[in-house]
Amino acid sequence: MGNVNSSQPSSLAAGDSVTRKKPFYASLWVQVLFAIAVAVALGYFSPARAIAMKPLGDGFIRLISMVITLIIFCTVVSGIAGMEDLKKVGRVGGKALLYFEIVSTLALLIGLVVGNVVKPGSGFNVNAATLDAKSVADYAGAAKAQSVTEFLMHIIPTTVVDAFAKGDILEVLLVAVLFGFALSSVGPRCKPLVDLFDALTHAVFGVVNILMRFAPIGAFGAMAFTVGKYGIASLGPLLKLITTFYITSILFVLIVLGAIGWFAGFNILKFLLYIKEEILLVLATSSSETALPTLMSKLEKLGCSKPLVGLVVPTGYTFNTDGSSLYMTLAALFVAQATNTHLTVMQQITILAVATLTSKGASGVQGASFIALVGTLMVVPTIPVAGMALVLGIDRFMSMFRGLINMIGNGVATLVVARWEKELDRDTLRNNLAGV
């Protein structure tokens, strides 16, 4: 009896330790939110010190970028090599690209309509000759180098190693797909190699889990620099454009992506709550790439297969740029309105058509959307490219929501394609999201 009684406290203690919830301050999203709040305060009261925090944000982004290519390669290779039906790979890719083109074009159209209705640039009456064209010169040079043919050729790396060295997502994806097909066609002889890639995938995600512990520090550094460098006061003159873009982005998520989610069988608000850590991280770092690894992991936990996630998410980061699309047409009209440049319907249609091409690839890297927009405006010479100097100073604030909408859009796209492929049923998806 003595032994039984003596064992009870230990078993109760073990039960308590199992059921005991971790304190709220141990949650990553709470830590990131606290870091952002402290960063804003530091940037407001001590701008010089806040600007000095920039290496913390840059360092964290580089840490995450360091493993992204490995994650994509291992996930796609092990996924495709383990698939019995290789036709599914082509089918998933085709459905994803069709979805990307429809939704991103809709985003471009919405940005154009909002720009015409709200007219965020009206009343500025800026003389284009007085603008600092030099500040846009570097971006214009980069934009000239991005033709459609060069973009397509850019997908093919010079060497396999070069794809990883540059960290180009599309190049790595191409190598991974080819490698996955090769392993699958060889068959059982390559099983040890397939198992190795599968084990390496788990190891790389283990590295990501370690790196994510530094997310609050990275978020603090990036946000402190943004507020310290540009200041809250810098938003004043261009507040109408920023507010218009933010509200349009929020409504796009709630209405457009919300409707898509409803048809696919899930609630967009519950999905946003499910990826709250990724949302805060993208807002703080102004880069959607920082959320890519954990977003892929969470989508797999919802029931999407590893190969599907590995194909749709990385491809979406280039072709499914909803946030960048909203920004490009809205900002183009803003520059035209601010410089009193009248645009005909045909010219606006031209902007829409060109932006459909230039918006591809405008994701992940800070400044990519700005370069793409400069390239778009150069096709319509009526709009002074120097007018982009007006929005250059607030581009960091705009990129927060650009990256955020890009990331959310890719998450929704993955769930939709998974539903098309019958990998997810409504009940499973709803139950997983209900557990948030």
**Would the pLDDT of 3 be above 50?**
no
pLDDT confidence bin for 314, thresholds 50/70/90: confident
Number of domains within the chain:
1
* Tens digit of each residue's pLDDT (9 = 90 or more) over 20-73: 566 766 677 678 778 888 888 888 888 888 888 888 888 887 887 787 778 778
Does residue 250 lie within any of the structural domains? Answer: yes
**Dihedral (C-alpha) 43, 324, 256, 415: value to the nearest 10 degrees?**
-90
> How distant, in Å, are the alpha carbons of 104, 200, 295, 315, 317 from that of 96?
12, 27, 17, 8, 12
Q: What's the burial of 4, exposed, middle or buried (CB within 10 Å: 0-12/13-18/19+)?
A: exposed
Percent of the chain with pLDDT over 70: 76
**Would the pLDDT of 172 be above 60?**
yes
Does residue 16 lie within any of the structural domains? Answer: no
Q: Rounded to whole angstroms, how far apart are CA atoms 240 and 247?
A: 11
Q: Rounded to whole angstroms, how far apart are CA atoms 319 and 413?
A: 11
pLDDT confidence bin for 2, thresholds 50/70/90: very low
* Tens digit of each residue's pLDDT (9 = 90 or more) over 275-297: 988 898 888 877 777 788 888 88
Does residue 14 lie within any of the structural domains? Answer: no
**Would the pLDDT of 11 be above 50?**
no
User: What's the chain's average pLDDT?
Assistant: 77
pLDDT computed for residue 249 by the predictor: 93
Nearest to 364 by CA among 72, 30, 42: 72
> How distant, in Å, are the alpha carbons of 71, 168, 176, 278, 317 from that of 162?
17, 9, 13, 29, 20
pLDDT computed for residue 393 by the predictor: 65
Does residue 227 lie within any of the structural domains? Answer: yes
- What is the separation, in whole angstroms, between the first and last Cα of the chain? 44
User: Tell me, what CATH number does 91's domain have?
Assistant: 1.10.3860.10
pTM for the model stands at 0.75
* Tens digit of each residue's pLDDT (9 = 90 or more) over 219-276: 888 778 877 876 766 566 678 888 999 999 999 999 999 999 999 888 999 999 999 8
Does residue 426 lie within any of the structural domains? Answer: yes
Q: What's the burial of 291, exposed, middle or buried (CB within 10 Å: 0-12/13-18/19+)?
A: buried
Q: Which residues have CB under 8 Å from 24's CB, separation 6+?
A: 30
Does residue 17 lie within any of the structural domains? Answer: no
More confident residue, 133 or 396: 396
Domain with 266, as residue range(s), is 24-434
CA-based torsion, 305, 413, 266, 294: positive or negative: positive
Nearest to 61 by CA among 255, 260, 257, 222: 222
pLDDT confidence bin for 110, thresholds 50/70/90: very high
Choice among 132-136, 156-160, 180-184 with the minimum mean pLDDT: 132-136
Q: Which residues have CB under 8 Å from 205's CB, separation 6+?
A: 71, 293, 297
R_g of the chain, CA atoms, integer Å: 23
* Tens digit of each residue's pLDDT (9 = 90 or more) over 354-381: 777 666 655 444 556 666 777 677 667 7
More confident residue, 98 or 315: 98
Arithmetic mean of pLDDT, 283-312: 83
Nearest to 248 by CA among 107, 41, 406: 107
**Would the pLDDT of 342 be above 80?**
yes
Choice among 102-116, 171-185, 411-425 with the minimum mean pLDDT: 171-185
User: Is the Cβ–Cβ distance between 60 and 285 less than 8 Å?
Assistant: yes
Does residue 301 lie within any of the structural domains? Answer: yes
pLDDT confidence bin for 128, thresholds 50/70/90: low
Token pair recorded at residue 377: 């405006």
Does residue 350 lie within any of the structural domains? Answer: yes
